[in-house]
Amino acid sequence: MPTRYRAPELKDLPADMRARILEVQEKSGFVPNVFLALARRPAEWRAFFAYHDALMLKEDGSLTKGEREMIVTATGAANQCLYCVVAHGAILRIQEKKPLLADQVAVNWRKADITPRQRAMIEFALKVCLRSHEIAEPDFEALRPHGFSNEDIWDIAAITAFFGLSNRMASFADMLPNPEFYLMGRVPRENK
């Protein structure tokens, strides 16, 4: 597929966007492609990352950062989004310090090395992802015994819904994951 939607160069972006991207680059060592691929439309970019940060960087609630990445990896796999599975699978490995986890969650989460709480969480997320119109009271009840509050459940649904948007944009616009993501979190730090 040709590169239909060319990403702008960092130097040509508005100051606020450039600042945010440089901060990510500083932290990760590279600029994840999504930051530049979406930057050709600044208003959408700003809304996208504001939404992302509201869900993924928030400090309250019982969902760990690793659990949020699990949701993104499992639903991204259901949507067959290469970018999200590879990029968020990498962050999942790092957050959970489990080098094998992302592949398990992406291929068949039922076989993954996760807790019963996390299984229930992924099951709910996949229903929001694939059949949101069928969500009903029993789906909420199945989450209660695992200690999820109503706010936690909103987090699960909102992360699923937001990355469903992201999956569609990435697949549509042929956004590919940076090569760096594929290996991140797979090998102990000192080996690299």
CB of 112 vs a second copy, minimal distance in Å = 8
CB of 19 vs a second copy, minimal distance in Å = 18
Closest to a second copy by CB, 19 or 187 = 187
Distance CA 185, CA 97 (A): 7
Closest to a second copy by CB, 21 or 85 = 85
Binding region for a second copy (CB under 8 A): 1-2, 4-5, 41, 43-44, 46-48, 50-51, 53-55, 58, 77, 79-82, 85-86, 99-100, 103-104, 106-108, 110-111, 128-129, 132-137, 140, 150, 154, 157-158, 160-162, 164-169, 171-174, 176, 179, 182-183, 186-187, 191
CB of 123 vs a second copy, minimal distance in Å = 11
Closest to a second copy by CB, 26 or 166 = 166
Among the residues of the chain, which ranges form H helices?
15-28, 33-37, 42-56, 65-78, 82-96, 101-108, 116-131, 137-141, 150-172, 179-183
Closest to a second copy by CB, 26 or 115 = 115
Retrieve residue 68's tokens.
């949020």
Closest to a second copy by CB, 26 or 137 = 137
Closest to a second copy by CB, 22 or 135 = 135
CB 77 within 8 Å of CB 187: no
CB of 27 vs a second copy, minimal distance in Å = 21
Amino acid in the structure at residue 8: P
CB of 18 vs a second copy, minimal distance in Å = 19
- Interacting residues of 151 by C-beta distance below 8 A, sequence separation 6+: 60, 61
Among the residues of 41-100, which ranges form H helices?
42-56, 65-78, 82-96
CB 127 within 8 Å of CB 161: no
Helix, strand or coil for residue 27? helix
CB of 130 vs a second copy, minimal distance in Å = 10
